[in-house]
């Protein structure tokens, strides 16, 4: 229930935080994680191959598969609309923070500037032994597991695996943005699991209007407003 239309609210907001999930990348040809056709639902063993402590070769095989899929994926209308919205908002003196759970790098590719890649990105690799060598851009998608030039340990994608902790920088910058937000919008994510479920509580505590935009809406989402639809349709309309 809401009295102010979203379009007007978005145009008048000053500090906007957007959280995006897999639903935003579906129109770019990438699979969602859950639901019909989702990565975890169509391949029941896949989740066990991207979990903390998994064998380096197993993880590298998944990484190569995902990088091959990503190589041809282009940002869609939802990504582009968020780029334009950020530009307009910052031009009028507002602040925009885009937190994404996606590891596909498409927001950055589209041109979004203030992006927090909460779960890391497949576009980078890093030393699996965390020897201190800096993560680096890496598009390799075949061959044996590369090794760290500094310490010789296997290399892995710079993403957060199941049972791993979110990066301190990502966690801190996300929380700081939410603390000041007057509008929080979660797009293409169910809104019921972490981090979305925590973010919406933080944003509401800060006094923000909270909105969920997703194809499916849970029965009891802790959002002020729920708008159902596909990201590539809703986002260009509502962030115009
Ligand atoms: Zn190393």
- In the chain, CATH 3.30.1600.10 covers 31-72+122-159
How many A from CA of 130 to the centre of ligand 1?
6
How many A from CA of 45 to the centre of ligand 1?
28
Say if domain 31-72+122-159 classifies as CATH 3.20.20.140: no
Adjacency order of strands within the sheet including 120-127: 136-137, 120-127, 155-159
How many A from CA of 136 to the centre of ligand 1?
12
- Closest by alpha carbon to 118, among 107, 131, 129? 107
- In the chain, CATH 3.40.50.1220 covers 1-29+75-119+166-240
User: May I ask the CATH architecture of the domain 1-29+75-119+166-240?
Assistant: 3-Layer(aba) Sandwich (3.40)
Torsion sign (Cα): 136, 110, 178, 52: negative
Are the CB atoms for 112 and 84 separated by under 8 Å? no
How many A from CA of 64 to the centre of ligand 1?
20
E strands along the chain, which residues? 15-20, 95-100, 115-117, 120-127, 136-137, 155-159, 183-187, 209-214, 225-228
pTM of model > 0.85: yes
How many A from CA of 56 to the centre of ligand 1?
13
How many A from CA of 125 to the centre of ligand 1?
11
E strands along 170-232, which residues? 183-187, 209-214, 225-228
pLDDT (tens, 9 = 90+) of the chain, 240 residues, equals 556 899 999 999 999 999 999 999 999 999 877 666 777 777 778 888 899 999 999 999 999 999 999 998 999 999 999 999 999 999 999 999 999 999 999 999 999 999 999 999 999 999 999 999 999 999 999 999 999 999 999 999 999 999 999 999 999 999 999 999 999 999 999 888 888 889 999 999 999 999 999 998 877 778 999 999 999 999 999 998
How many A from CA of 145 to the centre of ligand 1?
13
**Active-site hit among 79, 119, 169, 209:** 119
The first and second tokens of residue 97, run together, are 């923070």
What distance in Å separates the CA atoms of residue 181 and residue 179, rounded to the nearest whole number?
6
79 is catalytic: no
């Amino acid at each position: 229930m809401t009295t102010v239309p979203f379009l007007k609210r978005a145009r008048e907001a000053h500090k906007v935080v957007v959280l995006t999930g897999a639903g935003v990348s579906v129109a770019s040809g990438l699979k969602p994680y859950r639901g019909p056709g989702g990565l975890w639902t169509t391949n029941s063993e896949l989740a066990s191959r991207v979990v903390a402590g998994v064998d380096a070769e197993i993880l590298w095989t998944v990484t190569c598969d995902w990088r091959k899929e990503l190589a041809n994926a282009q940002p869609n209308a939802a990504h582009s609309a968020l780029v334009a919205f950020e530009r307009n908002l910052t031009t009028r003196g507002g602040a925009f923070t885009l937190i994404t759970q996606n590891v596909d790098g498409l927001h950055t590719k589209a041109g979004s500037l203030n992006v927090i890649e909460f779960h890391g990105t497949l576009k980078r690799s890093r030393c699996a032994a965390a020897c201190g060598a800096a993560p680096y851009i890496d598009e390799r998608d075949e061959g044996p597991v590369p090794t760290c030039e500094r310490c010789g340990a296997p290399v892995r994608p710079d993403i957060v695996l199941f049972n791993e902790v979110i990066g301190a920088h990502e966690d801190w910058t996300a929380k700081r943005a939410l603390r000041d937000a007057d509008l929080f919008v979660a797009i293409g994510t169910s809104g019921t699991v972490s981090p979305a479920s925590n973010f919406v509580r933080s944003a509401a505590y800060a006094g923000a209007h909270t909105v969920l935009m997703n194809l499916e809406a849970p029965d009891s989402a802790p959002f002020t407003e729920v708008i159902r639809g596909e990201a590539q349709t809703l986002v260009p309309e509502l962030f115009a």
